[in-house]
Amino acid sequence: MKILNPYNNEKAQKNRSKNDDNAYSPRKKKAFGQHFLRKQSVVDHMIEAVSVTSETSVLEIGCGDGFLTKAILTSTPCKRLQVFEIDPEWADYVRGTIRDPRLKVTLANVLEIDFEAELGAQRPWVLLANLPYQITFPILFLVQKYKHLFTEGVVMVQEEVAHKIVAQRGRGYNPSTLFLQYHFEWRMMERIEPGAFVPPPKINSRLLYFKPKMDVKLIPDEERFWAFLKLCFRSPRQTLRNNLKTTHLPIDRLSPEQLGLRAQQMSFEGFLALWQQLVAK
Q: How far apart are CA 174 and CA 171, in angstroms?
A: 8
73: part of which helix (H) or strand (E)?
A: helix 67-75
Ramachandran angles phi, psi of 206, nearest 5°? -150, 140
198: part of which helix (H) or strand (E)?
A: strand 197-198
What helix, strand, coil percent values describe the chain, rounded to 5?
A: 45, 20, 35
> What is the pLDDT tens value at each position of the chain, 281 positions in all?
544 444 333 434 444 444 444 445 665 544 445 689 999 999 999 999 999 999 999 999 999 999 999 999 999 999 999 999 999 999 999 999 999 999 999 999 999 999 999 999 999 999 999 999 999 999 999 999 999 999 999 999 999 999 999 999 998 999 999 999 999 999 999 999 999 999 899 999 999 999 999 999 999 999 999 999 999 999 988 999 999 999 999 999 999 999 999 999 999 999 999 999 999 98
Q: Which residues contact 43 (CB under 8 A, 6 or more apart)?
A: 37, 67, 68, 71
pTM: 0.87
Q: Beta strand 205-212 with 184-192: parallel, antiparallel or unpaired?
A: antiparallel
| Half-sphere CA count of 164, side-chain side, radius 13 A | 14
| Half-sphere CA count of 103, side-chain side, radius 13 A | 25
User: SS3 of 127, please?
Assistant: strand
User: SS3 of 156, please?
Assistant: strand
User: SS3 of 146, please?
Assistant: coil
Q: How far apart are CA 159 and CA 243, in angstroms?
A: 29
Q: How far apart are CA 109 and CA 100, in angstroms?
A: 23
Q: Describe the crossing of helices 268-279 and 175-183 by its angle, rounded to 10 degrees.
A: 100
Q: Which residues contact 170 (CB under 8 A, 6 or more apart)?
A: 264
User: Domains of the chain (ranges plus CATH)?
Assistant: 2-212 (3.40.50.150), 222-279 (1.10.8)
Q: How many residues does the chain have?
A: 281
Query: In terms of Cα–Cα distance, which of 144, 140, 148, 151 is closest to 55?
Result: 151
Q: What is the rounded (10 degree) CA torsion for 16, 19, 20, 26?
A: -20
